[in-house]
Structure 1
Amino acid sequence: MSKKTLPGVTRRQILSFSAASAVLGAAKAANAVSLKGTPVWSPFDNSPPPQIDSDGWVFFNDAEAATVEAIVDRLVPADNLSIGGKEAGCAVFIDRQLAGFYGTFERLYMQGPFQPGTPEQGDQSPLVPQQRYRLGLAALEEYSQSTYKKSFKDLAGEQQDEVLSGLENGKIALDQPRFKHQIDGKLFFAIVLKNTMEGFFADPIYGGNRNMVSWKMLGFPGARYDYREYIGKHNQKLDLEPLSISGGDAWKIAKS
């Protein structure tokens, strides 16, 4: 008896389907074999935290670092709930991020044309974060010296708040022709505010959130890999000690 093909399906197609099925079957078998052993994996394969060997500043110079520390301390002031942004390491976090791929936007498309966009389109500036900070801090220093005859870091807290508020609402312009360094003040303030918040709440492995201060304040348990024991415990205070991505004593396997 002769073999018949399905209506509309040629023998060539059937052979192609069979070959494809064989390939898929082999691939599944290969994957199954590889999973019998220990998977080849290590943390941060695709996005490693910056490896900093020095305790000093990596991107900022001392003057820039002092200004950033003054800014983050006003954005996250110390109170009865938490330490301030400087002590929490927010400036260190920003410094390390600027020294890495974030500082150059190397993972983003950064080709023109560059033109003002709608709020929905987001940031359209050609300046990468390293340029924004370098220009912004220099322009801020020029503004502070011309207005108060002092560096920003030496201003009283109320004066620093006044300047930062002016940058945020656009009343203070850092792109004035009289300044050697020019940048849109709102653009500069926005990135500093964003990075400060990231530094305050991010995993301590990135340099900020020192001693997991913000996590302890919020009651966030951190990077624990297994929450099954707590799924059914609704509206209960768990009092779990926060755990960093870098691990802790709870991750260690006791040797027999």
Structure 2
Amino acid sequence: MAEEHKQNPETLSRRKFLRNTGFTVGGLAVGGVLGSLIPRNNDKQQKAPPPEAENFNQALMYFTPEQYQLTEAATERIFPEDESGPGAKALGVAFFIDHQLAGDWGFNAREYMQAPFYKGEKVQGYQGRLRRRDIFDIGLRELQNHSMAVHKKKFTELKGEEQDAILSDFEQDKVNLTTISSSGFFQLLRSATLEGAYSDPLYGGNKNMNGWKMRNYPGSQMAYTDIIEKDFKKINPQSLKNHLNH
């Protein structure tokens, strides 16, 4: 009996076949694309180093590429790079806004959104039926349309001062929109820009915590018990991601 289990030519050939054509996962033979992604232990080949993990915070979840480029250009004019540090583009603010629009914030999921709808006071903000993702869709489209109407160019093709003038027209309600106010969209865009520059990097913006570093903000520290009774000292900021990884 022991000899039968030692080496069975038929079993060995089946194993060799599976090794060469696919893999068994949970009792199933897996080949094709998935099989090619699972590393093989081949004595004749040197093990390749594991690939670096992709940064999925730098991936679009809602915007089209054109909307993303437009948002990136507009937010950079609102929060530009200067001698103090990076601007919205380098901080990944457009990715932050994209991710927020793809989630509860974009759907106004935690807000009462039923009729009747009345025009609210300025201090109340937007009081209509449109969700934030709808407002961004309309606002970005009209930003592009206004740029084409004034300069015959896309917003991303304009010089910095020309982009500023277009955004200023929105801020001062000089652009007539049928469904939303242009100033309302600008204020929403500006608020989202600042949030993206200073939010936890876990949410897509504030890349490498550089927004916090400009402000000497310590980020998401879990406790200060080790330094609270000591002299003041500058500490490196921490993201929520650091705590999730521990």
What TM-score comes out, normalization by structure 2 length?
0.72
**RMSD between aligned residues:** 2.1
Tell me what 2:242 maps to: 247
Judged with a 3 Å threshold, the aligned counterparts in structure 2 of structure 1 residues 111 and 81 are, in CA distance, closer, same or farther, namely: same
Instruction: Describe the superposition over 1:50-94 as per-residue Cα deviations: whole angstroms up to 9, x where unpaired.
Output: xx9585321111111110010011011101111110110000000
Q: Does 1:124 align with 2:119?
A: no
Unaligned runs of 5+ in 1: 1-51, 176-181
Which among 105, 109, 115 is matched to residue 106 of structure 1?
109
Following superposition, the deviation at residue 137 of structure 1 comes to: 0.9
> Aligned letter for 1:212?
M
Tell me what 1:193 maps to: 190
Superposition pairs for residues 52-131 of structure 1, below 5 Å?
55-131=58-134
Q: How many residues align?
A: 192
Whether the 8 Å contact between 2:101 and 2:132 is mirrored in structure 1 is yes
Instruction: Point out the structure with the larger helix share.
Output: 2
Tell me what 2:206 maps to: 209
> What is the SS of the residue equivalent to 1:134?
helix
Which among 166, 181, 190 is matched to residue 163 of structure 1?
166
In the aligned structure 2, how far is the partner of 1:136 from the partner of 1:54? 24
Whether the 8 Å contact between 1:163 and 1:172 is mirrored in structure 2 is no
> Aligned letter for 1:139?
E
> Aligned letter for 1:164?
L
> Aligned letter for 2:146?
Y
Judged with a 3 Å threshold, the aligned counterparts in structure 2 of structure 1 residues 224 and 68 are, in CA distance, closer, same or farther, namely: same
Whether the 8 Å contact between 1:90 and 1:200 is mirrored in structure 2 is yes
Instruction: Describe the superposition over 1:88-127 as per-residue Cα deviations: whole angstroms up to 9, x where unpaired.
Output: 0000000011111111111111011111122343321221
**Identical positions, percent:** 36
Following superposition, the deviation at residue 248 of structure 1 comes to: 5.8
In the aligned structure 1, how far is the partner of 2:218 from the partner of 2:239? 9
> What is the SS of the residue equivalent to 1:117?
coil
Judged with a 3 Å threshold, the aligned counterparts in structure 2 of structure 1 residues 172 and 210 are, in CA distance, closer, same or farther, namely: same
Tell me what 2:217 maps to: 220
> What is the SS of the residue equivalent to 2:91?
coil
What TM-score comes out, normalization by structure 1 length?
0.70
In the aligned structure 2, how far is the partner of 1:82 from the partner of 1:213? 8
Whether the 8 Å contact between 1:139 and 1:183 is mirrored in structure 2 is no
Q: Does 1:151 align with 2:154?
A: yes
Instruction: Describe the superposition over 1:24-67 as per-residue Cα deviations: whole angstroms up to 9, x where unpaired.
Output: xxxxxxxxxxxxxxxxxxxxxxxxxxxx9585321111111110
In the aligned structure 2, how far is the partner of 1:226 from the partner of 1:55? 29
